[in-house]
Structure 1
Amino acid sequence: MATRWGIVSAGLISSDFVNALKLLPPGEHRLVAVAARSLERAKSFATKNGVEKAYGSYEDLAKDPDVEVVYIGTIHPYHLPVGSLMIQAGKHVLCEKPMCMSVKETKQLIKLAKEKKVFLMEAVWSRFFPVYHEMTKRIKAGEIGDVVQVLSSFGKSLEHVDRETKRELGAGTTLDLGIYTVQFATLVMGGEKPEKVLAGGHLSAHGIDESTSTTLVYSGRRLASLASTIRADLPSEAFVIGTKGTIKTLPRQHGTSFHDAQVPFFTRGLTTGGLLQFLFSSIKCCISIVTTLNSSLSCWLTIPCGVLRASSHLQENTSHYFPNQIIVSTLAIVRV
């Protein structure tokens, strides 16, 4: 049976999401409705992308009984209110990263999802790339020996982009780019909480975190060194260095090198839409499990697994933009 999607927001990221869905077999997914703050924008989006219905408010989409799961592509500050609205209506939710603006908000959303017995996940698509699965398998098999250090960077020149420079839009490198480096390190370290976090960075003239550098100190003499910025194009690659070898992920994780030998295929050469297919397949499977069991497995989430403090310290050392709050990064789908 086709997964029945509702799309919240008619922006560029929602367009990418819908275009990726179209690459899958027609019988697997169905674009039921789109909602925007303007009915005109929603109708334009629906016409362009083949969505069945258009709504001029998020509330109207939440009331649509044909919508099974909702993709939330709004700006960051709207994730909690819109996510809560959809979960209250009994919809499964795939929320664009970051799931919320703070741990407090995220816990609130998770609690609601558990109460309503729905699926909730943060859309960090790279976690579903085949290359990530291959990398994890080889690390667990001991192919590079014991992990010693993770080096990860992600940076793009984005100072001209409003959503990266305006507070009201949830701006900052930590929320938009740094999340990828944190989730990568956490994946390699098996979800373990770091023993110590050392972080620093620089603020823009508007008080937005524009560049950050973080060191996560783990047990077993392991380290992770992470960097992100919206001021320049960083290499945007990652290394997993072990006692017997090194794994390198190439920009955007399109391919991976193991022991300096290029691995054929995996995700190299695929478009954005092609890469999102792996995410959709996993979501369809998870929703099926939730719907079928509707009991102890009724709520599946991507949760922080102990690295929340990494982002917290990062922000505490770069600004007071998010006082007493912690930013969440996506880790793995787990039972809670």
Structure 2
Amino acid sequence: MQSQNLNWGIAAAGRVTQDFVTALGTIPNSRHAVLAVADVEGPRAQEFAQRNQIPRHYDGFEALSLDKEVDVVYVGTLNPFHYAVVRLMLIRGKHVLCETPLCLGLEQAQELYKLAEQRGVFLMEGMWSRCFPSYERLRELLLGDAIGEVKLVKLQHGFRLANEERVASRALGGSITLDIGIYALQLGQFVFGSAPVKIIPSGTQLNAERVDVQTEFILDYGDNRRLIALITGLETLENDAIIVGTKGEIKVRLPHKQL
């Protein structure tokens, strides 16, 4: 029996959603099909559909949520609108892959995961680094006790992003922590397998809108296990992490942002 295509809907016609649609098209023998795109500006959705040969385009997200042939929706709106759009899609029974960050607050994220469970649909934050082959290799090394018990993760992650509107603007949910700092947080969870028991901020630099453009923090995982991070939008750094264990260490390259 031949399996059917998984029909995707795209929420927002922007650069990040263009990257996602392009990436789907590179999967060999893919049964992923982009069926529809929606945007708050109808002409943008129409142009996006024409450029990518997508059969349907909608003026607004409500119409996309009502398309019965769409199985899963990729949400690539601006940060402040993730919660509302994801919630709408979940209520309508759509599976959802949402661009990072999933939400701007913990309570919103908890509500969405609870809603997905109630509706019996899939919800995932698009943490792309977790899908890198290097992370699969890292998992093998850690499970194989290649460096012993991990005690420390040190990382530096930075690009000249402080003047980018998505980072600098409070109205757009701007924050260097939400933009690239999340990769530090997820690496700590990946390596230590749990949430930190304590967060120790050691310095944050704000812009005129009081949005963080540089921050340093320590995540304490208990039992003398820590992650120490420098995250900045002011300079381009080496963008790597050193995972230190009792028998050795592993160096990991961190994701590079494409402007």
Shorter-normalised TM-score: what interval?
over 0.9
Which among 197, 200, 205 is matched to residue 198 of structure 1? 200
Segments ≥4 residues shifted beyond 3 Å: none
CA drift at 1:27: 4.5
Partner of 1:145: 148
Partner of 2:163: 160
Q: Report the Cα distance in structure 2 between the residues aligned to 1:230 and 1:10, rounded to whole angstroms.
A: 26
Partner of 2:236: 233
Scaled by the length of structure 2, what TM-score is found? 0.94
Q: Which has the higher contact order (CA 8 A, sep 6+)?
A: 1
Which among 5, 8, 12 is matched to residue 9 of structure 1? 12
Partner of 2:177: 174
Which among 212, 215, 221 is matched to residue 212 of structure 1? 215
1:241-286 Cα deviation digits (max 9, x unpaired): 1121110012438xxxxxxxxxxxxxxxxxx9xxxxxxxxxxxxxx
In the alignment, structure 1 residue 110 sits paired with structure 2 residue 126: no
Structure 2 residue runs without a partner (length 5+)? none
Structure 1 residue runs without a partner (length 5+)? 254-271, 273-336
Aligned length: 253
Q: Secondary structure at the match of 1:194?
A: coil
Q: Secondary structure at the match of 1:252?
A: coil
CA drift at 1:159: 2.2
1:133-186 Cα deviation digits (max 9, x unpaired): 111111121111121210122211012211111111000111111000110111
Code of the aligned partner of 2:77: T
1:200-242 Cα deviation digits (max 9, x unpaired): 3111121001111111122232111012111111211111111
Which among 22, 25, 37 is matched to residue 28 of structure 2? 25
Q: Secondary structure at the match of 2:171?
A: helix
Q: Report the Cα distance in structure 2 between the residues aligned to 1:180 and 1:16, rounded to whole angstroms.
A: 19
Which among 53, 56, 74 is matched to residue 53 of structure 1? 56
CA drift at 1:47: 0.9
1:95-145 Cα deviation digits (max 9, x unpaired): 111110100111111121111111000000101112111111111211111
In the alignment, structure 1 residue 122 sits paired with structure 2 residue 122: no
Partner of 2:66: 63
Partner of 2:81: 78
Q: Report the Cα distance in structure 2 between the residues aligned to 1:95 and 1:164, rounded to whole angstroms.
A: 18
Q: Report the Cα distance in structure 1 between the residues aligned to 2:195 and 2:86, rounded to whole angstroms.
A: 27
**Cα gap change, 1:183/1:27 in structure 2, threshold over 3 Å: closer, same or farther?**
closer
Code of the aligned partner of 1:149: L
Q: Percent identity?
A: 38
Q: Report the Cα distance in structure 1 between the residues aligned to 2:128 and 2:78, rounded to whole angstroms.
A: 17
1:62-85 Cα deviation digits (max 9, x unpaired): 111110000000011101110111
Scaled by the length of structure 1, what TM-score is found? 0.73
Q: Report the Cα distance in structure 1 between the residues aligned to 2:26 and 2:251, rounded to whole angstroms.
A: 29
Q: Report the Cα distance in structure 1 between the residues aligned to 2:52 and 2:18, rounded to whole angstroms.
A: 8
Code of the aligned partner of 2:119: K
